[in-house]
Chains A and B, each alone.
Chain A
């Protein structure tokens, strides 16, 4: 996990604040703002298809960030993340339709509502861990799925519910290009909040609970509180992501938030890097883009190998499964670890360490 990140010559720290900055040095800062500028330019440069993929990466990224706080940082496990994601989508739609609160406000409110639900389903974590907790969260997945299908007052039952298009001071986010900026805003906010959390008291407490819960308790950390809190924070981000998804599609249906989707979230954080805020986004991008890439590859190879066209649907699904296995074997610390190795290599060149 630990990869050396040597500082460039002349970069001396003269105060403690220097150690806690989000961006460790100038290259890091410049790199970040360069990427941000690129992200802002995407709708002007690319067509709707690329923008819609970016929107998906952003929305799933926010939800996966929540799961990473729970699984990667606190060492708990959840197989019900998609259900929380779905709860966020329904909550926002329901709040907006029934109370008339504008969508821009129901999105964070949906996050708060999902937090409450997540904390209720997180209560078993106070007593059980590992595989047993996984099964307990599986119950959350099925209970919520059933709730979506039957609670017609809340979700519209099997018919689903309509979600309004968000609007801010007369500016409607009605196209992909416009909605992209709303998602980008929430991605920035979510990742900033999570990064801050991880360099302050409660973030450290989460990691302490993960690494050695017995000694964490002796250090004065209330295990029950932090385990349930972790479920709450995780669900908050799932709720935000879900709400954004609902209003993006304009329609929320109960079927889409199944167990497969939950596992996909786990795949995102495993591939991106457990316990890494930035890695979450890399993993999400990987999972979203992999099927597209396979499609592209099949199209490219279908000239010499025409039979590939028939098996294309399988290849897309199988590629995700294969990617997870390959990552677990060869890069269990995720894409972010690979990136850190590349960065260290670049910094230290021509020396090896």
Chain B
């Protein structure tokens, strides 16, 4: 088991218990001792987002528990990515607030959110195409590195040690995601599935508390999907990260999510465990169309 648990209270326990499910149980009992505020990593409170006359999100509220995998599903254009963009700071909701670890994210710049512990991957690949895989992942550690353009230019006086220390951490991530074969390859030359994995590696390198995955399995074959699902489970279990995921593959969503929220035209129409959501009538209507529409 990779030993990249960071700033995580459960680290030692996780390393002892080798079974992912056992980890989850272990952590839940630990969590129950905490104050209720700490139970939720992220809370969205009545978030509304408009682009001119178009309402991308209307009054969306949800809460994400620490250490869970929370999926957002919905049709194309339902506002899933807009929701993630509100959390990562690309969009600023006109109304409502997003509370992260008990504090509002309002007014926080995009780049400061990495420091707060929010990492994300993108739906359309957003790697640094001309950099090696290693350097891509090293960029994720930007906010953890201290050397700057002055100390970096005088490489041998301090920066070198720091760079090598972080390189060791990056190697742990490479081991975790099984990227050893391609670590020196130029990111832009990799296959789609691998690029998605490098993107995940880069997000992990931020050492986030909360990781946002925008369609991590889009365009993958079954085997790659299974691998990715395993990695996402490990994000929870081994690294203690909280995952918010957008995904269209219902099989995957139902298998690995703890909670699922369904968006339809910017409104939340259902939330709950995968089973509850599956059996929700509104969800069936949204996905399959209403019975009277056909008649």
Bound CA span A2–B184, Å:
11
Report whether A16 and B155 are in contact in the complex, using a CB–CB cutoff of 8 Å: no
Q: Is A220 an interface residue (CB 8 A)?
A: yes
Bound CA span A275–B120, Å:
27
The residue on A at minimum CB distance from B156 is A196
Which residues of A have CB within 8 Å of B154? 193, 196
Q: How many A-B residue pairs have CB under 8 A?
A: 119
Interface string of B121-148 (1 = CB under 8 A from A): 0100011111100110011101101011
- Interface of A, secondary structure class, is helix
Shortest distance between the CB of B212 and any CB in chain A (Å): 9
Bound CA span A253–B50, Å:
57
Report whether A208 and B111 are in contact in the complex, using a CB–CB cutoff of 8 Å: no
Bound CA span A205–B142, Å:
8
The residue on A at minimum CB distance from B143 is A220
Which residues of B have CB within 8 Å of A203? 149, 152
| Residues in B168-218 with C-beta less than 8 Å from chain A | 168, 171, 184, 186, 189, 202, 206
- B126 is contacted by which of A201, A214, A221 (Cβ under 8 Å)? A214
Which residues of B have CB within 8 Å of A220? 111-115, 142-143, 206
Report whether A200 and B139 are in contact in the complex, using a CB–CB cutoff of 8 Å: no
Bound CA span A212–B110, Å:
14
- Among the stretches B34-42, B159-167, B246-254, the one at the interface with A is B159-167
Q: Is B279 an interface residue (CB 8 A)?
A: no
Report whether B186 and A2 are in contact in the complex, using a CB–CB cutoff of 8 Å: yes
Bound CA span A194–B149, Å:
10
Q: Is A202 an interface residue (CB 8 A)?
A: yes
The residue on A at minimum CB distance from B140 is A219
Report whether A201 and B110 are in contact in the complex, using a CB–CB cutoff of 8 Å: no
Q: Is A197 an interface residue (CB 8 A)?
A: yes
Known A200-B163, A208-B131; further 20 A-B contacts with Cβ < 8 A: A17-B164, A19-B184, A196-B153, A196-B154, A196-B155, A199-B163, A200-B159, A201-B142, A201-B145, A201-B148, A204-B135, A207-B130, A207-B135, A215-B122, A215-B126, A216-B139, A218-B114, A220-B112, A221-B139, A221-B142
